[in-house]
Amino acid sequence: MATAKKLTDNHLTCAICTEVFTDPATLQCNHTFCKSCLLNYTNTQPEAVQAKSIPCPFCRQQTKVTNPDSPVEEWVSQLKPSHVIQGLIDDFGPGTKAVEEHLCSVCTKQGKTTPATNWCSVCDVVFCEGCLQLHNMMPGLCDHEVAHLSDHTKTKIKVRFMCKIHRDEKVKLFCKDCKQAICTICCSIKHRACKDVDTIESMTPLVKEQLTSKIEKLGINIAATNNIITQRKSKIQDVKSNSQTLKDQVLKTRDTVMRAILRREKQLLGDIDKATDEQLRELEADIQSQEIELQMYQQQYEFTANAVTSNCEMDMYAVYVSMGETSTDNRDTDNRPPAGRVVFTQNPDKLSKAVDELQLGKVEVVHDVSDPKSSPVLHHTIDCKEDGDGKNPRLVDVTVLTVDDIKVTVVTDCNNKRLKTYYTSNFNYFDNQLLLSYYPWQIAKLSESQIAVSVPNSMEIVTVNVTPGPVLLSTIKTSKKYYALAFLSPSQLAAGTWKQSHSVDILDMTGRILRSINTGVIGSPDLIHVSSSNNLLVSERAVKSLVSVTSEGDAVFTYTPTRALSHPWGITTTSTGDILLVDRDSHKVIQLTESGQFVRDVLTQQDGLEYPDGVCLDADGLLYVTSDRYVKIFKFYRR
């Protein structure tokens, strides 16, 4: 177990089976695998077998075989591990302890059990101290490489200096043309045509320097790969958490639908009770009327019967006269319309279809806009033209909040001096408006339920509570006409105005100026966005640039492309730090890296954008862009 752990700790494991190497084989690309794993993989690659080569499972590089007519099994069996791999296996493998416990080879032949202390790399024999002295006194042996067994350098010295072909020859030369370490015999036989052959001693510093540089690059790659692995592990947790959140949303949607069904059920049951009560009242009223008529008929019957049986002719004629004046209405049948019947009408086919088409939601994999391989697809459009609008809306800015699990889209309509909110709840669509003193400009998101909005011409910043309808909380009076506005911290706002000595002021929540920041080429910011690293991103249409500075005013970058921006406007950032910039007059949304390098045009006029202004991303990666009177919402999918 200790040996296996030692091998694993020194990365002597196969990348295919993830176990300690079993009969390792190294390909020309210097990647090593178990022979059995490599054989199984090669047999699954018919194109490589047809090309008479062994493919690397890691980098896909092909290794040409020496005897292509032989079976694949022989191709793999002829491969040997690299010197480094073999050296590590010999150093840390099962035989390591045995080396330390060797007895002197010379003494053993004499029947003695003297522990060995040294090893000759040329003779490949271990000696005790006494026998080593005799070995070193021999003229032909005194220049042999000898190492102490405790140094664990036996295999390293042997492999490093002895020729693989001529095993008794030291490797003294290096062929630069073939990039091989060779002995003098190899040089005179196989490398006579090579033009650049040097000694090992002269090449060692250069090789060491190149390997050191390689180590540095590998160290960088290791750190970067570890970082990616850490990110992926974090992403796994995010995916699992998101999965549970989505399941909770499905269950919540199910409950909402069930509540709607139960409400409909209650309504139908109430309708049945109401219709039944009306029928019962009609029938009971009819019975009461019939009972009165029955009583009258019975009275007339009694009077008439008494008159007929009476001996008084005057009573009989009095009844007879009254019969002539009052009709007896001899009814054999009831001519009144029959009482109605309450029925429950349903269409089984329509009901079945409605259940089949019931949309609780849709499960799909949506990629982030920062993924350069993703493409936008229009998901939804919100028309912000309302009945009370006097002008066509101009939607300067947009943001998205999540209030009590309801996603609320908020826009500033400067033409109609309104802040507008849009959301869906219980399958019903709602829109609300808040009329302001003058035209609103940019929105600063303070929390998931509160925003601040700049109202420049009134020299105000208003705070609004989104419930999800907009409710005015407070009005902050300012000393300047601030257009651009962004949330910097719970106690600070970043605000920009036109034609001032410094571009951006840092305000407290009472509107007091704490400090001012100069943003270089931008003197009159149109819009501001604060990135996740707390840098300020500032755009201005007049200078056609995007500037990034720290919250202390240190320059980060200025984006002024060779092909000038036409009208830089709305700004937002992705979860990975990428920047999305609206270029209004070119009808585009541009993607930049966090350092201000161009990546791609995310949206163009072909995606339906006409003079876009505001832009934002929600927690689900949906991209919201204001265009004319509309908010256009895009999802991103892999091509």
- The predicted pLDDT at position 463 comes to 97
Q: Are residues 521 and 610 in the same domain?
A: yes
Q: Which two tokens stand for residue 386?
A: 């309302």
Residue 201: HSE in the Cβ half-sphere, 13 Å Cα cutoff:
1
Q: For residue 34, name the pLDDT band (cuts at 50, 70, 90).
A: confident
Kindly state whether residues 307 and 381 are assigned to the same domain.
Answer: no
CA-to-CA distance for 374 and 370, rounded, in angstroms?
Answer: 8
Asked whether residue 247 is assigned to any structural domain, the reply reads yes
Residues 6+ apart with CB under 8 A from 114: 103, 104, 107, 128, 130, 131
- What is the model's pLDDT at position 339? 64
Tokens representing 127?
Answer: 């000696």
pLDDT for 95 equals: 46
Q: Are 293 and 334 in contact (CB under 8 A)?
A: no
Do residue 453 and residue 577 come from a single domain?
A: yes
- The answer on pLDDT for 99 being more than 60 is no
Q: Which of 92-96, 170-174, 490-494 has the lowest mean pLDDT?
A: 92-96
Give the pair of three-digit tokens for residue 285.
């009223």
Q: What is the pLDDT of residues 239-254, one digit of tens each?
A: 888 889 888 888 888 8
Does a structural domain hold residue 193? no
Name the residue with tokens 């090309």: 51
Read off the pLDDT of each residue in 475-480 and give the average, rounded to a whole number: 94
Average pLDDT score over residue span 172-201: 88
Assess contact for 496 and 528: CB atoms under 8 A: yes
Instruction: Report the percent of the chain where pLDDT is more than 70.
Output: 89
Q: Where residue 96 falls among pLDDT bands split at 50, 70, 90?
A: very low
Which span out of 162-176, 292-306, 577-591 was modeled with the highest average pLDDT?
577-591
Query: In this structure, what token pair is assigned to residue 545?
Result: 């640039």
The reply to whether 507 and 394 lie within a common domain is: yes
Strand partners, 589: 582, 603
Sheet holding 146-148, edge to edge: 125-127, 118-120, 146-148
| Cβ-Cβ contacts under 8 Å for 15 (sequence gap 6 or more) | 31, 33, 57, 58
Alpha carbon distance 402, 468 (integer Å): 9
591 located within any domain: yes
Residue 42's pLDDT band, with cuts at 50, 70 and 90, is confident
On the question of pLDDT at 10 being above 60, the answer is: no
Last residue of a domain, one of 53, 78, 94: 94
Q: What's the pLDDT tens digit per position in 260-319?
A: 888 888 988 998 898 889 889 888 888 898 888 888 888 888 888 888 887 787 878 877
Report yes or no on 583 lying in a domain. yes
For residue 137, is pLDDT > 90? no
Residue 211 above 60 pLDDT? yes
409 is a domain residue: yes
Which of 94, 129, 155 is the last residue in one of the domains? 94
**In the listed set 283, 307, 323, which residue is the last one of a domain according to the structure?**
323
Give the chain's domain count: 3
Confidence of residue 2 (pLDDT cuts 50, 70, 90): very low
Lowest mean pLDDT among 134-138, 458-462, 483-487: 134-138
Q: Name the more confident of 322 and 201.
A: 201
Which tens digit of pLDDT belongs to each residue from 420-464?
999 988 777 899 999 999 999 999 999 999 999 999 999 999 999
The identity of residue 129, as a single letter, is E
Average pLDDT over residues 566-588: 94
Q: Are residues 266 and 414 in the same domain?
A: no
Can you list the positions of beta strands (E) in 16-172?
A: 24-26, 32-34, 53-55, 62-64, 118-120, 125-127, 146-148
Q: Choose among 386, 424, 433: nearest CA to 405.
A: 424
pLDDT of residue 472: 95
Across 76-85, 214-223, 352-361, least confident range = 352-361
Q: What is the 3-state secondary structure (H, E, C) of 462-492?
A: EEEEECCCEEEEEEEECCCCEEEEEEEECCE
Q: How far apart are CA 53 and CA 521, in angstroms?
A: 60
In a domain, 350, yes or no: no
Residue 387 falls inside a structural domain = yes
- Asked if 598 and 590 touch (Cβ cutoff 8 Å), the reply is yes
CATH number at residue 572: 2.120.10.30
Q: What's the confidence (pLDDT) of residue 61?
A: 85
Facing residues of 625 across strands?
615, 632
Q: Check the CA dihedral 196-199-201-204 and report its sign.
A: positive
**Per-residue model confidence as pLDDT tens digits over 500-528:** 666 799 999 999 999 999 888 888 899 99
The continuous run of DSSP H or E covering 374 comes out as: strand 374-383
**Which has the higher per-residue pLDDT, 581 or 76?**
581
Regarding predicted confidence, which is higher, 481 or 52?
481
Binned at pLDDT 50, 70 and 90, residue 50 comes out as: confident
Q: What is the pLDDT of residue 154?
A: 47
- pLDDT score at 156: 46
Q: For residue 314, what are its two tokens?
A: 């005057």
Considering the domain architecture, whether residues 378 and 299 belong to the same structural domain is answered as: no
Residues 287 and 389 placed together within one structural domain of the fold? no
**pLDDT for 88:** 65
Burial class (CB in 10 A: 0-12, 13-18, 19+), 637: middle
Same-domain status, 505 and 616: yes
The helix (run of H) or strand (run of E) holding residue 555 is strand 555-559
Residue type, position 79, single letter: L
Instruction: Identify the domain containing residue 70 by its residue range.
Output: 1-94
Question: Which helix or strand (DSSP H or E) is residue 238 part of?
Answer: helix 200-309
**Is the pLDDT score of 563 beyond 60?**
yes
Residue 335: band (very low, low, confident or very high) from pLDDT cuts 50, 70, 90: low
Q: Do 318 and 383 fall within a single domain?
A: no
Q: What is the arithmetic mean of pLDDT over 183-191?
A: 89
Q: Which helix (H) or strand (E) holds 223?
A: helix 200-309
* Mean pLDDT of the residues in the chain: 85
245 by DSSP, 3-state: which?
helix
User: Any bridge partners for residue 598, and if so which?
Assistant: 592
Kindly state whether residues 498 and 422 are assigned to the same domain: yes
> Pick from 419, 423, 390, 389: which is nearest to 405 by CA?
423
b/e sequence 464-490, b meaning 16+ C-beta within 10 Å = bbbebbbeeeeebebebbbbbbbbbee
CATH of residue 73's domain is: 3.30.40.10
Residue 178: the pLDDT is: 85
Predicted local confidence at residue 144, as pLDDT: 80
* Res. 573: pLDDT tops 80: yes
Of the ranges 166-170, 376-380, 474-478, which one carries the lowest mean pLDDT score? 166-170
What residue ranges in 387-532 does DSSP mark as E strands? 395-403, 406-413, 418-425, 428-435, 443-445, 450-455, 460-466, 470-477, 482-489, 492-497, 504-508, 513-517, 527-530
Do 313 and 455 belong to one domain? no
Provide the pLDDT confidence category of residue 86 given band limits of 50, 70 and 90: low
Instruction: Please say whether the beta carbons of 466 and 449 come within 8 A.
Output: yes
Q: How far apart are CA 398 and CA 386, in angstroms?
A: 17
% of the chain surpassing 90 pLDDT: 35
Do 392 and 467 lie in one domain? The reply is yes
The amino acid present at 312, given as its one-letter code, is: C
Per-residue pLDDT band at 101 (split at 50, 70, 90): low
Question: Is 106 inside a domain boundary?
Answer: no
Comparing CA positions, the residue from 579, 581, 574, 578 lying closest to residue 619 is 574
Q: What is the pLDDT of residue 593?
A: 94
CB 506 within 8 A of CB 517: yes
